[in-house]
């Protein structure tokens, strides 16, 4: 059992009730581990304070921030990252961003970052994936709270459930019976429904308890309660959540997320499992076929490789140069990675370009220099 509190990620044995048993070395230097997941030997967590996703091996090695935010939209009083989930077949990482109201995806190492749900959502929160069937589920906590579903490529979006009251704090999936489970922090309930939104059922309704996050594994539901027994983790058969056992108590009110670390969860396959589906960058399975996506640029005619845009806008943001699409404002994926250099770029002012050689020139007023750099950020130098 893998769980997070505000400042730490911890492990706990599923079998046994000895609170002192440590099955995971301490993972510290964590400021706000809002959401956790795993793949292979890596544990991933989202830090909602700093807008980062970090991973580390179970033995404590290989710690790396794979996703970082560079924006400074501090006039929006919400967290950067709310939820994350691993596509263990396509080896991609998905996360929800309630500050920008998007859902993004990247490779497991943070490369090929791509906005897969760019619009039409408000305060996306928890996210869960079924890579075998090509589904992505997420909750929204904005003006119109709801749970929605889409393909892993963002296609075929549908609202499964609208809420007139309550607030979903976490969602989890039963891969065997195709069920969506969720905790409601306002109504203090645990509920479930089918993948298509039918068959809604309240499983637990204890008004004094506060179920906050949950996971489903091997016919059982594990959930965190931030008030009962001064912060507890419980388990019960999914057929009767009232028949629960408290496996951890006195954990405090800083409990955040919970999952079961087990290779038995990473079952199934899809076309993205073999050679990345033939895709140059991202392979996103929509339940029927693999869809290739490019973090920057366009998918070429072969449907697999990526090619550069021939028309785009580039502009200076003082310490970096960004690009945006001219013709499609709904496409939030920039034509090129942003250009940045702590050594060479201090205050980029004037910009011009040589299209034939894909080269950008800019004047840096703070360095008193004129620099050149390729559109893709390479060959950055003072001229």
pLDDT of residue 72: 53
pLDDT of residue 18: 54
Reported as a single tens digit per residue, the pLDDT across 216-274 is 999 999 999 988 888 899 999 999 999 999 988 888 778 888 999 888 888 899 999 99
pLDDT of residue 75: 53
How far is 203 from 191, CA to CA, in rounded Å?
A: 5
Cα of 161 vs its chain's centroid, Å = 21
Which range has the worst mean pLDDT, 31-35, 101-105, 191-195?
Answer: 31-35
The fold of the 2-265 domain, in CATH, is Neuraminidase (2.120.10)
How far is 193 from 173, CA to CA, in rounded Å?
A: 10
8 Å CB contact between 307 and 298: yes
| Residue 121: C-alpha distances to residues 34, 102, 230, 383 (Å) | 20, 7, 35, 46
Q: Where are the domains of the chain?
A: 2-265, 309-382
- Whether 280 shows a pLDDT value over 90: the answer reads yes
Bridge partners for 57 per DSSP: 42
pLDDT of residue 303: 95
Summarize the confidence of residues 301-305 as an average pLDDT.
96
* Most confident option among 44-53, 57-66, 367-376: 367-376
CB neighbour burial string for 340-350, b if at least 16 within 10 angstroms, e if fewer: bbeebbeebee
Instruction: Give which of 27, 72, 76 is closest to 54, Cα–Cα.
Output: 27
Q: What percent of the chain has pLDDT over 90?
A: 65
- What is the side-by-side order of every strand in the sheet holding 201-205? 168-174, 179-184, 189-194, 201-205
Instruction: For the beta carbon of residue 370, count every other beta carbon within 10 angstroms.
Output: 13
Q: What percent of the chain has pLDDT over 70?
A: 94
pLDDT of residue 362: 97
pLDDT of residue 78: 58
Q: Is 244 exposed, middle or buried (0-12, 13-18, 19+ CB in 10 A)?
A: buried
Instruction: Give which of 214, 121, 227 is closest to 170, Cα–Cα.
Output: 214
Reported as a single tens digit per residue, the pLDDT across 129-187 is 999 999 999 999 988 999 999 999 999 999 999 998 888 999 999 999 999 999 998 89
pLDDT of residue 230: 86
pLDDT of residue 256: 86
């Amino acid at each position: 059992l893998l769980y997070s509190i505000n400042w730490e990620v911890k492990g706990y044995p599923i079998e046994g009730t000895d609170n002192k048993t440590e099955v995971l070395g301490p993972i510290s230097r964590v400021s706000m581990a809002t959401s956790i997941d795993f793949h292979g030997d890596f544990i991933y967590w989202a830090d909602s304070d700093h807008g980062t996703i970090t991973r580390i091996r179970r033995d404590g090695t290989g710690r790396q921030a794979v996703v970082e935010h560079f924006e400074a939209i501090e006039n929006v009083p919400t967290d950067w990252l709310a939820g994350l989930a691993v596509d263990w077949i396509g080896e991609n990482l998905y996360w929800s961003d309630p500050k920008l109201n998007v859902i993004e995806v990247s490779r497991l190492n943070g490369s090929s970052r791509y906005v897969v749900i760019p619009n039409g959502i408000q305060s996306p929160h928890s996210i869960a994936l079924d890579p075998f069937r090509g589904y992505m589920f997420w909750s929204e906590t904005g003006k119109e709270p709801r749970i929605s579903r889409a393909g892993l490529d963002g296609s075929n979006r549908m609202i499964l459930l609208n809420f007139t009251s309550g607030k979903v704090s976490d969602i989890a999936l039963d891969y065997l019976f195709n069920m969506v489970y969720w905790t409601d922090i306002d109504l203090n309930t645990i509920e479930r429904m089918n993948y298509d939104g039918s068959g809604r059922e309240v499983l637990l309704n204890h008004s004094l308890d506060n179920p906050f996050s949950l996971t489903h594994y091997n016919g059982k539901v594990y959930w965190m309660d931030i008030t009962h027994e001064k912060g507890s983790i419980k388990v019960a058969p999914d057929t009767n959540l009232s028949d629960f056992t408290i496996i951890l108590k006195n954990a405090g009110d800083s409990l955040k997320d919970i999952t079961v670390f087990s290779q038995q969860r990473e079952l199934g396959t899809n076309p993205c499992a073999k050679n990345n589906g033939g895709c140059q960058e991202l392979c996103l399975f929509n339940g029927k076929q693999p869809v290739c996506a490019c973090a920057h640029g366009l998918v070429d005619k072969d449907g697999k490789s990526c090619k550069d845009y021939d028309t785009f806008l580039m502009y200076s943001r003082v310490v970096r140069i960004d690009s945006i699409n001219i013709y499609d404002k709904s496409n939030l994926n920039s034509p090129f990675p942003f250009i940045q250099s702590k050594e060479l770029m201090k205050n980029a002012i004037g910009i011009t370009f040589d299209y034939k050689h894909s080269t950008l020139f800019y004047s840096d007023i703070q360095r008193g220099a004129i620099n050149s750099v390729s559109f893709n950020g390479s060959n950055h130098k003072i001229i």
